[in-house]
Structure 1
Amino acid sequence: MTGVSEGRTALVTGATAGIGAAFARELAAEGYALVLAARDAQRLAAIAAELPVPAEVLPADLATAEGCDAVAARLTDPARPVELLVNNAGRTLNRSFLRSTVQLEEELLRLNVNAVMRLTLAALPGMVERGRGDIVNVSSMSGFGALMPGSTYPASKAWVTNFSESQGLLVRGTGVRVMALCPGYTRTEFHHRAGIDISDMPSWMWLDARSVVRAGLRDLRKGRLISVPDWRYKLAAFGIRHAPRGLVHRVARDARGRIGHEER
């Protein structure tokens, strides 16, 4: 059994599958005790049972105030400090903004934006006071540009990336690190849950969740504020950020906005 290092606890949201589950397994292998948060209590229990370290199950819907409050309360418990927070829970909508509803859009923003802010704010002051701690906010390649015409998802991820970079700069020199992890297409349940057809996506575009997590943790420990796993997506991110906007917009239209529905 993997030994647990005293005082090292990680909390992972969206931990039942994909990148969240990969984070749970990788951190367990490193000796972290885990707190696993997601909506599905049964799947959380199944993930917890397979880990070789103590794993606390915390069912919570982070698109609700009650769910955020429950996870925030765990993060601010002074008797059980969390050394590493992974804000991974998120969603997309398989529909144009013109066909969306206020309810759906607000739910997306509550999960992708508000929950990240709420939990980061819950965890960060205590980490700074203790002089140690890490936060990884899972963002997206799509946050580097308007790549999905008619979708709120890239805008939400642009916020996550910018927010994480800003907080990382704020706490530099305190012993605390904050980083945005911006993966490209990663094989998870994310697309299936959103009802997105990915059958025609070329195999070379896909990343493995375990590799994404390992690359992200390496970058975190190097002190990077933004992590883009895999050289192919590093090149793509550079192009999106520095190419003429008109070119980026033409590519986005040609791709029909499908890039970005990738993580988790």
Structure 2
Amino acid sequence: MATALITGASAGLGVEFAWQLATGHHDLVLVARDTERLERLAHQIRSAAGVDVEVLGADLSDREQTERVAERLRSTERPVSLLVNNAGYAVHDRFLAGDVADQEASLDVMVRAVLVLSHAAAGAMRSRSRGAILNVSSVAALTASGTYSAHKAWVRTFTEGLAVDLRGTGVTATALCPGLTRTEFHERAQLDYSSFPAVAWLDAGAVVTAALRDVRRGAVISTPSIRYRLAAGLLRLAPRSAVRAAEAR
């Protein structure tokens, strides 16, 4: 049975990835800071899906704890065939208004950890000539909304480069670029998106289903829903001055 490792597995898209992969008969390694919440989720999944679920508590803003996850990815015992780099969050304060330490921590989670874990997974998977890496980016990668956009832009570009490096190895790399998705993400970040119309929001289950389908077919960029594929196309074509002006309003 294949094994998937999911970071940020205690909430949001991470929980949805866990359930869909478990019902697809994947064993799981669940990674997050909140081990108590992970243990509850693991118990529910074991009972409902009958798969093996390993809990690995780690704060990915800490390099040593990130290395423990990397070591699990390199392990030849119950090797990981799918890495889902999903951990991430938005810092509520604007860049110059808050503590730079908070910005550094978010950079560590959404950039450094993706780099370190992708390297560990890609090396192990390449030696077996099979596997997949799914890095969660965002349509926000094409906007100018502060450090969050910058982190997600890095993830998108990094994943494209990784896909090039892995060509012909039997291992794939995919960047998932969803738009607004109904999860705990915005509430945790204290972001008020209540003014956005219902049509702007995606269902987490549909996002994960589309992402896993794109991983299976080896897509490098996965943007769930036609409306966000159109939005991404417009953002790529729009003058950057217009993109910046939209963020400044």
What TM-score do the two structures reach when normalised by structure 2?
0.96
Q: Deviation per CA, 1:204-252, whole angstroms, max 9, x where unpaired? A: 1111111101101111122211111011100000011111222222222
- 1:121 aligns with 119
**How far, CA to CA, are the matches of 1:100 and 1:122 in structure 2?**
33
> Is 1:50 the counterpart of 2:44 in the alignment?
yes
Q: Deviation per CA, 1:162-203, whole angstroms, max 9, x where unpaired? A: 000110111111110001001100111111111112222211
Decide whether the 8 Å contact of 1:9 with 1:34 is kept in 2: yes
AA at the equivalent of 1:236:
A
AA at the equivalent of 2:164:
L
**How far, CA to CA, are the matches of 1:154 and 1:125 in structure 2?**
28
Identify the range of structure 1 (196-205 vs 88-97) with the bigger mean alpha-carbon deviation.
196-205
- 2:57 aligns with 59
In the TM superposition, residue 46 of structure 1 has moved relative to its aligned partner by 1.1
Q: Which runs of 4+ in 1 moved over 3 A?
A: none
Structure 2 unmatched ranges of 5 or more:
none
RMSD: 1.0
> Is 1:181 the counterpart of 2:176 in the alignment?
yes
Q: Deviation per CA, 1:64-93, whole angstroms, max 9, x where unpaired? A: 112201111111112221000000001111
- 1:11 aligns with 5
**How far, CA to CA, are the matches of 1:128 and 1:97 in structure 2?**
39
- Aligned to 1:97, the other structure's residue is in SS state coil
> Is 1:203 the counterpart of 2:198 in the alignment?
yes
**How far, CA to CA, are the matches of 1:238 and 1:78 in structure 2?**
41
What TM-score do the two structures reach when normalised by structure 1?
0.90
Structure 1 unmatched ranges of 5 or more:
255-264
> Is 1:41 the counterpart of 2:41 in the alignment?
no
In the TM superposition, residue 17 of structure 1 has moved relative to its aligned partner by 1.4
- Pairs within 5 Å for 1:221-240: 221-240=216-235
- 1:105 aligns with 103
1:89 counterpart (78, 87, 90) = 87
Decide whether the 8 Å contact of 1:145 with 1:241 is kept in 2: no
**How far, CA to CA, are the matches of 2:40 and 2:206 in structure 1?**
22
**How far, CA to CA, are the matches of 1:253 and 1:186 in structure 2?**
23
